[in-house]
Chain A
Amino acid sequence: MSRLATLVGLALKSAWNRRLTLSLIVLSVALSTVLLVGLERVRGQVRTAFVQAISGTDLVVGARGGQIQLILYAVFHLGGATNNMGWDSAQKIAAMDGVAWTVPLSMGDSHRGYPVVATEAGFFERFRYRRDQALEVAEGRPFGDVFEAVLGSEVAARLGYGLGQSIVLRHGLGQAAPDHADKPFSVVGILAPTGSPVDRSVYINLESMEAIHIDWRGGAPIRGFSVSAERARKMNLTPKSVTALLVGLKNRRDVFALQREIQSAPGEALSAVMPGVALDQLWRLLGSGERVLWLVSILVTATGLMGLISSVLAGLGERRRELAILRSVGARPLDVLALLSLESLALTLAGVLMGLTFLAILIAVLGPVISDAYGVAIDLSPPTAREWLLSCAIIVAGYLAGLVPAVRAYFLSLGDGLSVSV
């Protein structure tokens, strides 16, 4: 056996003797890896889910107001619109040169905390999320008639609804608001999961929205006046206003000109927002929180590596005799240096591999739960370039950290004879 093989064999045996300490080191590196790489994974996916919550829509138009509010309620269905835009304005925009399609959205009602969005059947064809991904109806069909509802996947799963379920919508978003018990809806379709706000919404058509409010005035039922569902069906259900309008253009590059045209058009004061631009800007505002998380996880990783240095250093005292014996059987001081630094490299490598495995298991187990709870799809996919880079950075940092005790051992073994006075 060559000298090196003997050394490595001895080093392995030595490591086996110290297996408890070493496995704790590996574990701490593994946990750092889970945190650092996991955070990167979640950050990437949250950003994707956020920025690509809507795609294929060139402009979102609503009553004049804040750009962010418009996006929050038109895309994320959060909060309520302060003002609606007139139906005539919506039709004017639909007729504009360069506009390929429009999909109106009308909001304000809810069902057990989930927002109700009234729209046209075109929504199911036109709406896109991620990279041009279309909606899919998992069960049943899109709504056709009045008083038919299509549920987002999360709504159906959480509330345990299937096709044919009868549901009652609540006026407004609060729990105490009056409901539309006289005009129940029947579930005709359930959408496939998208990881977008669509999962948490209930879709009905615009006529239904009009019908359930036909005997309402100012947010409450009109006293002593009620219209039955059957009669409402036969009345004129053309909406007078909508909350927002999704606009698709024939030619995407016309969006700047069209945005100006809509915002400066005479008549009703409107805001036109480019959703991709607004979401990027929003994410930039959220970015400072992201940086804090990032800093914390780097600190945790540094702490893990410090632990590696300190435990190897502490162990060095006990190992002085062992190293001296190694020297006596022919190991040179440089061999000792190499052995110890290789040991830390192997430890970090094992730690990182273990961390990535942990992470994969964690994602496989918790991914569906997170997706259900927060609508963010964390996929089990091979690490991205940035994640590989991070993993390599941890390994390099671990190797460098391991050099500290290795160099110390080198100098110790230069000085120590066989008779170590520990």
Chain B
Amino acid sequence: MLKILALAFSSLLLFAGAAMAQTHAAHEHGVATLDLAISGNSLEVGLDGPLANFISFEHEPSTDAQKAEVADMVAKLAKAGELFKAPAEANCKVKAIAFVSEKIPAALFGQYAAKGGEAAHGHDHGDHDHGHDHGDHDHGHDHGDHDHGHGHDHGGEAGAEHGDIEARYEFECADIGKVTGLDIGLFPVFPNLSEIEARVVSDKGQSAQELTAADSRLKW
């Protein structure tokens, strides 16, 4: 059965696979990736996606209006408890929040700026720069037909006007066993965000889920 299924669909899959292969780093407006790792009593969330999901531009803010927009985004993204709602009885507390974007000066992130361009990591593999592979990634910018409207009104330099943001959150939960899912509250706050590709790693194993405004509960 598996063999038949897999063979029958493999052409479709190989085709779709190209789109899926680089989900993590592809720059597709409207889509963000969410990586969640659970171990011990800590819960780490990494949210990564085009700036256009959160603000109206993808370049370094220059005007006061643009800076205000960034400040607004920072304030919204900092409400970790509302963006990632865990069951109350698990008693989860936000321990760390850090933002990093190659287009936005760290000063604008204020207290949430990642130290040394590095998002907060609670593990040993933090010695490589998470920011660096956004600038020089060699895969094409993956714009679907639907988003040809924006990002292209910057004249001749449109190609250069892509920027991503990465937000890292760390929660500590008194009773992590009670957390078997998170209600993701990002969609109402950021209307430009339409889809989240979530990946979860826990002691139970790995899983993947696609979240939308209509189905925004991440389960594992």
Q: Who on chain B is nearest to A97 by CB? A: B124
A277 touches B206 (CB 8 A): yes
How far, in whole Å, are A66 and B210 apart by their CA atoms in the complex? Answer: 20
Complex Cα–Cα for A39 and B1 (A): 14
Query: Is B44's CB under 8 angstroms from A280's CB?
Result: no
Q: How far is the CB of A379 from chain B (nearest CB, A)?
A: 15
Report if A50 contacts B (CB, 8 A).
yes
A387 smallest CB distance to B (angstroms): 19
Q: How many residues of chain A are within 8 Å of chain B by beta carbon? A: 50
Q: Which of B25-62 contact A (CB under 8 A)?
A: 35, 37-39, 44, 46
B173-220 residues at the A interface, CB under 8 angstroms: 199, 201-210
Q: Which of A136-144, A255-263, A294-302, A390-398 lies at the interface with chain B?
A: A255-263
B121 touches A (CB below 8 Å): yes
B20 at the interface (CB under 8 A from A): yes
Q: Which residues of B contact A373 (CB under 8 A)?
A: 1
A281 at the binding interface (Cβ < 8 Å):
yes
Instruction: Name B99-137 residues within 8 Å CB distance of A.
Output: 121, 123-126, 128, 130, 133
**Given A76-B2, A285-B13, A374-B1 in contact, is the A98-B209 Cβ separation under 8 Å?**
no
Q: How far is the CA of A72 from the CA of B2 in the complex (A)?
A: 11
- Given A67-B17, A253-B123, A264 and B133 touching (CB < 8 A)? yes
- Chain B residue contacts of A274, Cβ below 8 A: 199, 201, 206, 208
Q: Bound complex: CA of A68 vs CA of B35, how far in Å?
A: 20
Tell whether, in the assembled complex, residue A98 and residue B37 are in contact, meaning their CB atoms are under 8 Å apart. no
Neighbouring A residues of B210 by C-beta, 8 Å: 284
Q: In whole angstroms, how far apart are the Cα atoms of A131 and B207 in the complex?
A: 13
B1 (CB) vs chain A CBs: closest residue: A374
A55 in contact (CB, < 8 A): yes
CA distance A21 to B44 in the complex (A): 63
Which residues 279-308 in A have Cβ within 8 Å of B in the complex?
A: 280-282, 284-286, 289
A194 to B5, CA, bound (A): 19
Which of B12, B21, B199, B206 interacts with A271 by CB under 8 Å?
B21
B42 nearest in chain A by CB position: A253
**With contacts A253-B123, A254-B123 known, is A76 near B206, CB below 8 A?**
no
B88 at the interface (CB under 8 A from A): no
- A49-86 interface code vs B (CB 8 A; 1 in, 0 out): 11001011010000000111100100010110000000
- A189 interface residue, CB < 8 Å from B? no
Cβ contacts under 8 Å, A255 to chain B: 37, 201, 206
List which A242-282 residues lie within 8 A (CB) of chain B: 251-261, 264, 271, 274-278, 280-282
Q: A251-B39, A264-B133, A280-B209 are in contact. Are A72 and B6 (CB under 8 A)?
A: yes
Asked whether A66 and B207 contact (CB < 8 A) given A256-B46, A260-B130, A277-B199, the answer is no
Question: Which residues 371-394 of A sit at the B interface, judged by CB distance below 8 A?
Answer: 373-376
Most chain B beta-carbon contacts within 10 A, residue among A197, A271, A285: A285
- Whether A46 sits at the interface, judged by CB under 8 Å, is yes
For residue A256, which residue of chain B has the nearest CB? Answer: B35
Contact between A258 and B125 (Cβ–Cβ < 8 Å)?
A: yes
Within 8 Å of chain A (Cβ to Cβ): is B68? no
B65 at the interface (CB under 8 A from A): no
Contacts of B2 in A (CB 8 A): 46, 49-50, 53, 76, 197, 374-376
Asked if residues A72 and B10 are in contact (CB atoms below 8 Å), the reply is: yes
Q: Give the CA-CA distance A275 to B121 in the complex, in Å.
A: 23
User: Which of B14, B133, B205 counts the most chain A CB atoms within 10 A?
Assistant: B205
Assembled-state Cα–Cα distance A69/B11 (Å): 10
Q: Are B206 and A276 in contact (CB under 8 A)?
A: yes
Inter-subunit contact A78/B6 (CB<8 Å): yes
A263 to chain B, nearest CB (A): 9
Contacts of A253 in B (CB 8 A): 37-39, 44, 123, 201
Q: Is A286 a contact of B5 with CB atoms below 8 Å?
A: yes
CA distance A135 to B185 in the complex (A): 42
Smallest CB-CB separation from A276: which chain B residue? B206
Known: A78-B6, A251-B39, A286-B5. A257 touches B126 (CB 8 A): yes
For A67, the chain B residues whose CB sits under 8 A away are 17, 20-21
- Least CB distance, A406 to chain B, in whole angstroms: 40
Q: Which B residues touch A97, using CB under 8 A?
A: 124-125
Which residues of A lie under 8 Å from residue B17 when comparing CB positions?
A: 66-69
Cβ B9 vs Cβ A285 within 8 A? yes
Contact B1 A68 (CB under 8 A): no
Contact yes or no, A76 B201, CB < 8 A = no
Nearest B-chain residue to A274, judged by Cβ: B206
Most buried by B among A56, A271, A278: A278
Q: Are B16 and A68 in contact (CB under 8 A)?
A: yes
Decide if A78 touches B1 in the complex (CB within 8 Å). Answer: no
Closest Cβ of chain B to A358, distance in Å, is 21
> Closest residue to B18 on the A side, CB-wise?
A66
- Report Cα–Cα, A256/B13, bound state, in Å: 23
B123 and A251 contacting across the interface, CB-CB below 8 Å: yes
The contact of A277 among B16, B126, B208, by CB within 8 Å, is B208
Residue pair A69, B6 in contact (C-beta under 8 Å): no
Q: In chain B, what residue has the closest Cβ to A374?
A: B1
A79 to B10, CA, bound (A): 10
Check if B75 is an interface residue, CB within 8 A of chain A.
Answer: no
**Across the two chains, which residue of chain B brings its CB closest to A51?**
B207
Instruction: Say yes or no: A285-B14 contact (C-beta < 8 A), given A46-B2, A253-B38, A254-B123.
Output: no
What is the CB-to-nearest-CB distance from A355 to chain B, in angstroms, rounded to a whole number?
Answer: 23
Given contacts A253-B39, A253-B123, 13 further A-B contacts (CB under 8 A): A68-B17, A72-B6, A78-B7, A98-B123, A131-B204, A253-B37, A253-B38, A256-B201, A257-B121, A260-B130, A274-B208, A276-B206, A286-B5
